[in-house]
Chains A and B, each alone.
Chain A
Amino acid sequence: MIEGARWRRSVYFHLPLVMFVVLLLFPFYWMVITTFRPDGELYRPWNAKNYNPFWTWHPTLEHIRLLVEDTLFSTWLWNTMLISLASTAISLVCGVFAGYALSRLKFRFAGSLGTGIFVTYLVPQTLLFIPLADVIRNFQLGDTPWSLILTYPTFLIPFSTWLMMGYFKAIPKELEECARIDGASRWQAMIYIILPVAVPGILSAGIFAFTLSWNEFIYALVFLSSSAQKTIPVGVVSELVRGDVFYWGSLMAGALLGSIPVAVVYSFFVEHYVAGLTGSVKG
Chain B
Amino acid sequence: MRIATTRAPRLRLGRALLNQGAKSEEPDMASATTTTTMMRSAMPAGRVHQKAGLLEDERWFAAALLLPTAVLLGLFIAYPFFQGIWLALTDTRVGVPGNFVGLKNFEKVWNDSIFRTAVWNTCWYTFITTIVKLVLGLWLAQLLNRHFKGKAWVRAFILLPFIIPTVLSTFAWKWMFDPTFSVLNWLFWQMGFITKRINWLGEPDLAFFSIIVVNIWRGVPFYAISLLAGLQTISPELQEAAAIDGANAWQRFLHITWPLLLPVTMVVTLFSVIQTFADFQLVYVLTGGGPANATHLFATYAYQIGVGTGLLSEGAAISLAIFPVLFIVVLLQLLYIRRVETR
Q: Is A123 interfacial (CB-CB < 8 Å)?
A: yes
Which residues of chain A are near B148, meaning CB under 8 Å? 13
Q: Is B52 interfacial (CB-CB < 8 Å)?
A: yes
Chain B 297-343 residues near chain A, CB threshold 8 A: 298-299, 302-303, 306-307, 312, 315-316, 319-320, 322-323, 326, 329-330, 333-334, 337
Contact indicator A259/B164 (Cβ below 8 Å): yes
Q: Is A203 interfacial (CB-CB < 8 Å)?
A: no
CB of B33, distance to nearest CB on chain A (Å): 11
The one of A135, A172, A186, A258 that contacts B165, using a Cβ cutoff of 8 Å: A258
One digit per residue, 1 when the CB lies within 8 angstroms of any chain B CB and 0 when it does not, for chain A 249-283 equals 00110110011001100110010011001100111
Which residues of chain A are near B278, meaning CB under 8 Å? 124-127
CB of B326, distance to nearest CB on chain A (Å): 7
A contacts with B, residue count (CB < 8 A): 109
With A122-B326, A133-B307, A185-B56 known as contacts, the answer to whether A172 contacts B4 (CB < 8 A) is yes
Question: What separation, in Å, do the CA atoms of A127 and B63 have in the docked complex?
Answer: 29
The one of A130, A255, A259 that contacts B315, using a Cβ cutoff of 8 Å: A130
Contact indicator B326/A124 (Cβ below 8 Å): yes
Which residues of chain B are near A5, meaning CB under 8 Å? none
Q: Is A181 interfacial (CB-CB < 8 Å)?
A: yes
Question: What separation, in Å, do the CA atoms of A134 and B92 have in the docked complex?
Answer: 11
Chain B 24-38 residues near chain A, CB threshold 8 A: 24-25, 27-29, 32
One digit per residue, 1 when the CB lies within 8 angstroms of any chain B CB and 0 when it does not, for chain A 193-225 equals 000000000000000000100110110001000
Which residues of chain A are near B323, meaning CB under 8 Å? 127
Contact indicator A283/B267 (Cβ below 8 Å): yes
Which residues of chain A are near B160, meaning CB under 8 Å? 24-25, 28, 263
Contact indicator A117/B12 (Cβ below 8 Å): no
Question: What separation, in Å, do the CA atoms of A183 and B16 have in the docked complex?
Answer: 12
One digit per residue, 1 when the CB lies within 8 angstroms of any chain B CB and 0 when it does not, for chain A 93-127 equals 11101101110011110100101011110111111
Which residues of chain B are near A17, meaning CB under 8 Å? 143-144, 154
Contact indicator B77/A51 (Cβ below 8 Å): no
Q: Which residue of chain A is the closest to B221 with respect to CB atoms?
A: A24
Which residues of chain A are near B236, meaning CB under 8 Å? 1
Question: What separation, in Å, do the CA atoms of A30 and B183 have in the docked complex?
Answer: 9
Q: Is A11 interfacial (CB-CB < 8 Å)?
A: no
Question: What separation, in Å, do the CA atoms of A129 and B284 have in the docked complex?
Answer: 15
Q: Is A46 interfacial (CB-CB < 8 Å)?
A: yes
Q: Which residue of chain B is the closest to A80 with respect to CB atoms?
A: B165
Q: Is A56 interfacial (CB-CB < 8 Å)?
A: no
Which residues of chain B are near A173, meaning CB under 8 Å? 1, 4, 25
CB of B153, distance to nearest CB on chain A (Å): 10
With A106-B32, A211-B163 known as contacts, the answer to whether A252 contacts B175 (CB < 8 A) is yes
Interface of B is mostly: helix
Question: What separation, in Å, do the CA atoms of A24 and B239 have in the docked complex?
Answer: 29
Contact indicator A47/B186 (Cβ below 8 Å): yes
B contacts with A, residue count (CB < 8 A): 128
Which residues of chain B are near A129, meaning CB under 8 Å? 302-303, 319
Interface segment among B81-89, B113-121, B125-133, B202-210: the answer is B81-89
Contact indicator A98/B167 (Cβ below 8 Å): no
Contact indicator A281/B267 (Cβ below 8 Å): yes
The one of A44, A117, A217, A251 that contacts B73, using a Cβ cutoff of 8 Å: A117
Which residues of chain A are near B316, meaning CB under 8 Å? 130-131
The one of B73, B83, B239, B277 that contacts A135, using a Cβ cutoff of 8 Å: B83
A28-B169, A135-B75, A218-B299 given; 20 more Cβ-contact pairs under 8 Å: A28-B172, A31-B169, A46-B197, A101-B62, A117-B73, A122-B274, A122-B329, A124-B322, A126-B278, A127-B322, A127-B326, A133-B307, A157-B69, A173-B1, A181-B15, A186-B61, A248-B181, A255-B172, A263-B163, A277-B225
> What are 28 inter-chain pairs, A to B, with CB distance below 8 A?
A1-B239, A1-B240, A2-B243, A21-B154, A43-B180, A93-B68, A94-B72, A102-B66, A108-B59, A118-B334, A123-B326, A124-B277, A126-B280, A127-B322, A130-B319, A131-B86, A150-B75, A151-B76, A153-B76, A174-B11, A181-B12, A184-B48, A186-B56, A248-B181, A251-B175, A262-B164, A263-B164, A266-B163
